Amino acid sequence: MAMSMGSAGGSMAEINVTPMIDILLVLLIIFMVIVPTVPDGLDAAVPQPPKNPQKQQINQRTIVVQVLYRPGQTPAYKINEDDVAYQDLLPRLTAIYENRAERIMFIKGDDNVDFEYIANVLDIGKEAGVDHVGLLTPKIQAGQ
């Protein structure tokens, strides 16, 4: 029902919105039917904190090579608290990693040690077959 005011001789064109409302209602019903069938997502397990935060066990599979500063001398080396001479690093690391699937090594250097010695240990680790090398810093260790 259109009501026209004004000149008496002209016809007036108006948009019929009834079919548009019908299409809108059909689409609304379709979307309401589809939405409940969409999956919620992946179920994720949240990591739990350790039960004894004071007692942290060191993983026996973790290899940490320490480069210890000695004033006026070349640095001393340790593999997991075992003293090792520089010449023996390559044979020892090769023996450790020859049967391992995960070849990960961490290098921990004292603050006063030149990076040259750290880089040498990194090269020896790569030569021994290590795939991933991590550098331990005091900030990382404080978070443990």
DSSP 31-83: HHHHGGGS------PPPPPPS-SS--PPPTT-EEEEEE--TTSPPEEEETTEE
Res 58: pLDDT: 47
pTM of the model: 0.54
Residues with pLDDT less than 50, the chain: 55-58
Helix (H/G/I), strand (E/B), else coil: 21: helix
Give the pLDDT confidence of 90-125 residue by residue, as tens digits: 999 888 888 888 888 898 988 888 888 888 999 998
Kindly report the CATH number that applies to the domain delimited by 63-142.
3.30.420.270
Cα distances (angstroms) measured from residue 3 to each of 12, 16, 17, 111: 9, 14, 16, 89
